[in-house]
Amino acid sequence: MKKVNFQISSFLILFWVMGLLGTPKALAQKYEIGGGLGTTAYTGDILRKIDLDHLGLHGTLFGKRNFDNVWSLRVGISAGTLRATDSVRPLDLPAERRDARFRGGVLEGSAVMEFNFLDFLRNDSEFFWSPYAFFGIGYSHFFMKGNTFAYNASEGYNLGSVVIPFGGGIKYRINDRWTLQVEAGIRATFTDYIDKIDGSTPPIPRFQDPANPDIPYGINFGNPYDKDWYYFLGVSLSYTIQSTKCYAY
């Protein structure tokens, strides 16, 4: 796993450096401000894949500097809701017995580099749209409430984690000032506790207690070998507040 992560990181750094070296310097700079709305999702010890029955909402505000025709730096703040429960679609019988659940909010600050695959930002460009990819770094704070199994009362808990945002989308230039974006983003975190379940939680005994038949048993709470992730899918609108003509390639 460490080898794979190193290879991915090396590829992203090489991708960035090649883009910077291979792109002619432009005399123009563009600054944008914008915001957007969308949905959120989570994967972890309760949900192993994105589930449409467990979507939340999110909003974002951002500022952007376009260095040239393809590279941009975006700094933003986002807020969203996350939730999941074993009872809607349990992974297996132990998860059904566990009946864990959580819900709450996430506040994220991030800085990402965007790469436009088409010569999109030049004012006289023939392209009015472009696919793009992004990657960067951020920090998220989670405000949650949940329980590890139904027998326990729900408790509030807070935590924070560095996150690695990456993903892609499509931009459409409405005119010289307004740009519409549709984006799907992934947030890889360094915590396994968004859902209040991690590998350090002791398992419930494998055999039923005759004196307490209602207490779940035979449950291994969490997977200690992976982390919880969350996702944003949304639409945003940005406004260019400074624009000068870029040179063509």
Residue 248 lies in a domain: no
Give the whole-angstrom CA distance, residue 104 versus residue 84: 10
Q: What is the pLDDT of residue 5?
A: 52
| Residue 118 resides in a domain | yes
User: Mean pLDDT of all residues in the chain?
Assistant: 82
Has residue 60 been placed in a domain? yes
Lowest mean pLDDT among 94-98, 134-138, 221-225: 221-225
pTM of the entire predicted model: 0.79
Domain assignment present for residue 109? The answer is yes
In a domain, 105, yes or no: yes
Domain span at residue 99 reads 2-242
CATH number at residue 107: 2.40.160.20
- Structural domains of the chain, count: 1
Burial 162-192 (b: 16+ CB within 10 A, else e): ebbbbbbbebebeeeeebbbebebbbebebb
DSSP state of 215: S
Structural domain includes residue 20: yes
* Domain assignment present for 91: yes
pLDDT in tens, 112-137: 999 999 988 777 778 889 999 999 99
Residue 222: pLDDT band (50, 70, 90) is low
Say if 247 falls within a structural domain: no
